Amino acid sequence: MGDTLSQNPMPFDRILVVDDEETIREIVSSMLTGAQFRTRQAASGVEALALLDSGEEFDLVLSDLLMPEMHGLDLLERAKERFPDVPVVMVTAVNDIQAALQALRNGAYDYLLKPFEREQLLATVRRALENRRLKRENDAYRTNLEAKVAERTQQWKAALSDLERSYDITLEALGDALDLKDAETEGHSRRVTAFTIAIAQQMGLPKDDIRVIARGAFLHDIGKMAIPDKILTKPDKLTPDEVDIMREHAWSGYKILKNIPFLNEAAEIVYSHQEKYDGTGYPRRLKGEEIPLGARIFSIADTLDAMTSDRPYRPKQSDEAARKEIAFWSGRQFDPSIVEVFLSMPINIWEDLRKETNQKGRFPRA
């Protein structure tokens, strides 16, 4: 094995010259060394692979095409598998031009036809090395860019998390304000939101959709802020006129929320939370899938919480009684497909959610 190294101590590009004819190896190496390249010689493809595998770094392989032991195309294939970023230039005779073209298709950077001039050799080598340098710079830039994108993504996620927490604090403040005005249903919004989230998750809805639905569920009664206290807290049965005023809370809640950007979609659920599947609800008498999906899910969760909570006019009932009532009204008050999902859920989940909600005492997160 021959070895020709430039005496200049600077780290010039290293080129592996592969040819089974020693004379050609020496001539090519001499041309390259004169141009301040460092060269290493291999007498066969097998020897070239051994040098590549030894850990010695090369910036380019210049290989003959026709060699004993291992054909130049075989060397090309194995070199590109193991060292894909090292360009390979094939050297061949004029009558092997088809093989040279095949080498290009297999990943060779270029080919040289024997006999070639020194300047032709140096121009091809320099182009190949420049191409490698540009690819490496591009890879480094892409890696750096990906790292920056990952860093910015983390920053964005942290900011989004802070923003969502701010949203939740806003929701909690609105919920607390409503609890102060309507103490009878204190905790109802948190529980019904937790129930709504559980049903939506069981349905396999996307997390972003569940987040919107949860906000609508939590704020479903926010319109009661506009209802006079004498009606909202009246211990006796409401008159027909008072019932009409009370029913305005869905529209009032919608008006309160619709112009708040992060609550715009939730406002539609608030507007529709008193609609019934058969079209007998209010305020718009929507029917079936005209009712937003979140409102259809909420109506089941709302009935579950209302029936299993103590009220001045009646004691709370069991979860099983609530399940039977919801099943009975399937297709009339409730969407039957959602009722089916609700009934498929383990009954103990609702008590677990009540305990969890009471402990946290905050807006439930999807």
263 pLDDT band, cuts 50/70/90, is confident
Under CATH, domain 182-360 is a member of which superfamily? Hypothetical protein af1432 (1.10.3210.10)
Model confidence pLDDT, tens digit, residues 344-359: 999 999 999 998 887 6
Q: Residues with catalytic annotation?
A: 224
Give the pLDDT score at 9: 36
Mean pLDDT across the chain = 86
Residue 94: Cβ-neighbour burial (10 angstroms; 0-12, 13-18, 19+): exposed
pLDDT at 233 (0 to 100): 78
Q: Is the pLDDT of residue 73 over 80?
A: yes
Q: What is the DSSP letter of 60?
A: E
Q: Tell me the sheet residues that pair with 92.
A: 113
Q: Quick check: 168 pLDDT over 60?
A: yes
Give the model's pLDDT for residue 247. Answer: 92
pLDDT of residue 365: 64
Q: Cα 187–304–211 angle (5° rounding)?
A: 65
Per-residue pLDDT reduced to its tens digit, 182-228: 655 567 888 999 999 999 999 999 999 999 999 999 999 888 888 88
pTM of the model: 0.56
Q: Round to whole Å and give the CA distance between 89 and 340.
A: 68
* Lowest-pLDDT range of 98-112, 281-295, 342-356: 98-112
173 or 7, which is more confident?
Answer: 173
Confidence at 296, pLDDT banded by 50, 70, 90: very high
Mean per-residue pLDDT, 20-36: 92
User: Do 3-140 and 182-360 come out as alike in CATH topology?
Assistant: no
Name the residue ranges covered by the structural domains of the chain.
Answer: 3-140, 182-360
Lowest mean pLDDT among 65-74, 193-202, 243-252: 65-74
Name the pLDDT band for 96 (thresholds 50, 70, 90): confident
290 pLDDT band, cuts 50/70/90, is very high
Determine the Cα–Cα distance for residues 267 and 197; give it in Å rounded to an integer.
17
Q: Which CATH superfamily is domain 3-140 in?
A: Response regulator (3.40.50.2300)
